[in-house]
A = this chain, B = another copy of it.
């Protein structure tokens, strides 16, 4: 049933070594024999056993992608973009969901290690993941961090978005629009993106001489429900005329709740989200948000890992990707502002 390199060798009247050479497009084979071997390979639809190759070359042509949840609309586009780039180079991906659970993250890593992937792309949910890093180093497994996780100076590479600046941009836009009371729905504490975006929010307040009102901050968990709950709670505590959510999913939940309370968007409350997932165009009203260049990020991440595998030096190239504000109808858009609005 399974045909091996030996079978092909026999059928072609050559040695396994020769078959191996044509398989890997190496020189040192006469054109004639090369063709002969190729013909047999095609004829028998021979698929080399990559396990065996892997064990002997220590390369598997597969990359592990470890993310919290493919069901979070943020990730499919990222994964797709990575996969496209990688598969074009003959790589294959192993996908692991961790639900942002550190135990599952560790299991995913060791699973990838056991399968001897060539490298790992990791959207870690932990800010301090020294344990994981130790596992990685132990098997000296290349790893590029994406979207979130800790900024580790001795990590191979990371590609994050300029979360703080982006959050500043959004908040500042709302303030410049005349809103002195801007509510904020944060992501879960302990995730880097949450921290950074909160910093940006605070920076915008500070720069505009607005004092922080803790009643205006709600800590969610990046889900729709938490966006809804946020509005319920915020409305009870205090009034606000604008709302910035740390991701689109929560912003959408918030809009839902606001409408339920008879509040009109953007007239009563202006709303901005974060991510620019595809739904944003389709909500009512369409959601103003921060766009993350997902495709570009994915492509870059893929290239970084490939570069690392190719032995190219990539250290010191761990860019903050530039995000920008996409103006739609959930804000009043009185005044375009900053680099984000035109670019």
Interface residues, chain A, CB within 8 Å of chain B?
A: 1-2, 45, 47-52, 54-55, 60, 62, 69-71, 73, 75-77, 79-80, 83-84, 87, 92-97, 110-111, 113-116, 135, 138-140, 224, 252, 256, 278-279, 281-284
Contact = CB atoms under 8 A, between A and B. Distances in A.
Contact of A83 (B1, B80, B95): B95
Contacts of A80: 69-71, 97
Interface centre among A52, A95, A281 (most CB of B within 10 A): A95
A45 B76 contact: no
16 contacts: A1-B138, A1-B139, A1-B140, A45-B135, A48-B114, A49-B116, A51-B55, A71-B80, A73-B76, A83-B96, A83-B97, A84-B97, A92-B111, A224-B282, A252-B282, A256-B281
Given A45-B138, A50-B114, 14 more contacts: A45-B135, A47-B113, A50-B116, A51-B115, A52-B55, A55-B55, A62-B115, A70-B83, A71-B80, A73-B73, A80-B97, A92-B115, A93-B94, A94-B94
Nearest to A72: B76
Contacts of A256: 281-282
Contacts of A278: 73, 224
Contacts of A50: 114-116
A125 to B, nearest CB: 16
Nearest to A54: B51
B282 A47 contact: no
A96 B80 CA distance: 9
A52 B71 CA distance: 33
A87 B70 CA distance: 14
Nearest to A109: B47
